Structure formats: structure tokens, C-alpha cells
Structure 1
């Protein structure tokens, strides 16, 4: 993997790690809407791989694959942040679903079924499931959770507030504890799907084979599980952001 001058052989490294780029891109596709193209993710990931090859030095103390994985994933996410890939009207529908989940859980003391949620929203079961399918890019935390609707577009595109970093918020111990509890309260099939995806690192097709359902059905279950989790924790997210800012000032 090195030239006669002792430098990393760029061409050989690219050929060797293209499968890594594709694997990361395919895994991220599960969280993205159908409008996002796999080839676009791979293209952004390749930029990250080339950057990793140019920057990496053995003296950094990290294995190249570990370092490259971080750079590839970061490049793909940077590419996604430059595009408003979840339409505002779909985001509104997801907020309606979260509100319905909250209302029905308080009314019945249990997780509502898909049919109950569809009825509460005045939708057919098919239309409700299509909304879940369209929302395959649904995330646990959005920057809009910390801001008003008027700032949504700007903040979603530019990520300027470091104190409102979604990843950092999820490291908050109170949010972590609530999230663990909320995952434990998911319906069994959704809990299994989340475990296979986030713990076993299976992709959607593999999860579908394990569960005996289609890949699109796994997408629906993932979107619905995220909606249930958001319904539990979104009230705590602004509090976590406030705690981080107060700690930083102190």
C-alpha cells in the first residue's frame, strides 16, 4: 500500500476501500428518503476517502480503516446537510404523528397500533404507512427542536449552533436514560428492528429477511419507531440544550 518513496499508494488504497464507502452509504440509506440517490452518497463518501488518504499518517495512532470510516461518514453527512432532503410538509405530518402518539398513549396507557394512529389522524391505513415510507429519513433529533419554525431552513442547512448539536444532545445523561426506557417500551417488532439495525448493524434488506417482511415494511417500522421515541423525548431536548449552554458558560 506504499510507494517506493514510502508514501501511501493512493490508487491501491482507493481500490481497496471503495467497498467500505459503499457499505457506509448503504447503511445510511435506511435513514434517508427515496429521493436521495445511493450514487450521490457514494460520490460524497469517495471525497471523504480521498481526503482520508491525503491526510492520514501512521503517527496519528489510529488504524487507517477507522480513520477513513470517520472521514467517509462525515463527508456523506456534510453532503446531506447541504440539501433540504426532508420536505417541510412531510415534517409537519411527522409532527402530527408524534402528537397523536402522545395523545393515545396518555389516553390508553400503552403504545397505539398503526390502525389507531391512522384513525386518529383521519387517514387510511395505507396512506399512513405511505407517510412512514416517505419519511425514511426521519431522525431522532433535529435542529428545529431548538428553534422556532422561522429559523428552520437556515439552521438545517448551516448547523451554526454548536451547543445545539444533535449528537452532543444525545450524549446528555438524562436524555440517554429516557431513550433507553423509551426503546424498552416500543412494540416488540419495532424493538427487534431497532436492535438488528443499531446493535447488529444489519441493513434493511437483511432485517427484512430476519423478520420475514419486505424492505419497505422495515422502513415503515423504522420511521414509526423513531416517531414513538421522539414523542417521548422531544420535550426534554430543549432542556438538554439549555443545560449544555449553562455548563459552558459556567
Structure 2
């Protein structure tokens, strides 16, 4: 056996051992994510995607890095699971449509009043009863509807998608940074309880039951508050997208005139 072949064989053995040792990490991450996802998601699909992420991590990890293999693998495993969730969007189109309609009504009310849209007024304008209204909020919270970088007619997307900055052109990088700043500002303008739920869910990574324990309310109520925050953010970010579209159009027009 040549030196090169021997080296490759040792690499494969080392990768296989890392996969065996850290397989429980995949299940742990999968079940942690499941606490924040609707029941329609199959945990076995997440585990399968996570195992692929673990295998890729084992093949690409090199010693001497600052991060441990478990940290490195955890990032790859989680990323593979999120990619799987993005690839298989379980949300019916009707849900996306209703949330878009609700966000537009919220936006209209807030433009007219200069204040946070009131639930009762949103229901009145949509012609919805309380039960249907709360169901749409629950759907908004459990589905990946907050694709704030997507146009209004898009059917979905991942919540708070993280874009690889290295893959962006200079113009795209400026736009992405502008969107992130607008999103941070929009979150900061939410009612206090909605801000807290968003922080506990996305930053602290608590599930709805854990957030309910913190706030002293039921899990279903947390789901509604989360949905209200998502709808409100979608409404407020739509103005930023319209302004961005206008700026892009002016830039294209100016380029043609040169």
C-alpha cells in the first residue's frame, strides 16, 4: 500500500470513529429543534439530514482549529437540518396567503393610526372571528413565513435566513446589511411582550412551553404572541422592501442614462 493510500485509509477510519462517537449529538439537536416545530415535521427526517451533516463535518474537520469537533459538528448538523426544513416546506399556500393579507391590514392600520394595530380592528377589517384569527396567528408562528428578504408574492421561506456574506456581491452585501439593520429596528419597535417572545425564541432558543413558563401564560398564548410579532414584522418590513425596490429602479435608470 502506498503512503498516500495509507493516509487516506487512516483519514476514513478517523472520520468513521468521529461519526460513531457523536451520533447521539444528532438526536439531541433534532429533538431540541422539534420543540420549536409543528407536529407535522418528522423527526426521523431531521435525524437523517443531521447524520449527513455529521459525516461532512467528520470529513472536513482538521485538528488545530480553535473550535472542538463537537462545536464544529453541531454547527454542520444544525445547518443540514435547517436546509432540510427549507427544502420541504410543509405550509399550505392558503396559510401564506392569509398571513400576507393579515400583514397588509396591520400595515394599513399602523399607517393610519401611527400606533400598534389592535387585534379587534384587524379582525373587523378581515371579517374574521376570534377563533379563525388566532388560528392564523398560530399558523404564522409554526410555519416558516418570515422570509423578510423575499418579495410579497413569495410563497414562503426560512425564518430569519442567514446569508453567507462571502457569497454576496458588494451591492448585495450592502442590501443585506441594510435589511438586517431594518429588521433589528423593526424588532425594537414591537410591543414589549412580543419583543420578549422573539428574544427568548430566536436568541435564547427556548421552545414555546418554556417561554410560557417564563411569562406565566399557556403555550397556546405564547404561540399567538409569536404569530402577532411575525405578522407585525412582515407588515413593517414591507415598507423597507418597497423603498429598496424604488432605489434599485432609480439606480438602473441612472445607469442606462450614462
- Equivalent position to 2:201, from 194, 197, 206: 197
SS at match of 1:58: coil
Q: 1:116 to 1:46 in 2, by over 3 A?
A: farther
SS at match of 2:202: helix
Q: Contact 2:31 / 2:43 at 8 angstroms: preserved in 1? A: yes
Summarize deviations over 1:188-210 as a string: whole Å, max 9, x none: 21111112122323222211110
- Equivalent position to 1:80, from 75, 82, 85: 85
Q: Shift of the alpha carbon at 1:128?
A: 0.9
Task: Identify the residue that residue 232 of structure 1 maps to in structure 2.
Answer: 236
Task: Identify the residue that residue 159 of structure 1 maps to in structure 2.
Answer: none
After superposition, residues 122-141 of structure 1 pair within 5 angstroms as 122-135=127-140, 136-141=142-147
Alpha-carbon distance in 2 for matches of 1:171, 1:25: 35
Task: Identify the residue that residue 28 of structure 2 maps to in structure 1.
Answer: 22
Task: Identify the residue that residue 112 of structure 2 maps to in structure 1.
Answer: 107
Alpha-carbon distance in 2 for matches of 1:169, 1:211: 38
TM-score between the two structures when normalised by the length of structure 1: 0.74
Query: What number of residue pairs does the alignment pair up?
Result: 228
Structure having the higher Rg:
2
Alpha-carbon distance in 2 for matches of 1:37, 1:213: 28
Q: Shift of the alpha carbon at 1:171?
A: 7.5
Q: Shift of the alpha carbon at 1:232?
A: 1.1
Let me know the Cα RMSD of the aligned residues.
3.5
Higher relative contact order (CA 8 A, sep 6+): 1
TM-score between the two structures when normalised by the length of structure 2: 0.72
Q: 1:110 to 1:28 in 2, by over 3 A?
A: farther
Which runs of no fewer than 5 residues in structure 2 stay unpaired? 1-9, 159-166
Which runs of no fewer than 5 residues in structure 1 stay unpaired? 157-161
After superposition, residues 1-250 of structure 1 pair within 5 angstroms as 8=14, 10=16, 13-16=19-22, 18-19=24-25, 21-23=27-29, 26-27=32-33, 30=36, 32-59=37-64, 61-135=66-140, 136-141=142-147, 144-145=150-151, 172-237=176-241, 239=244
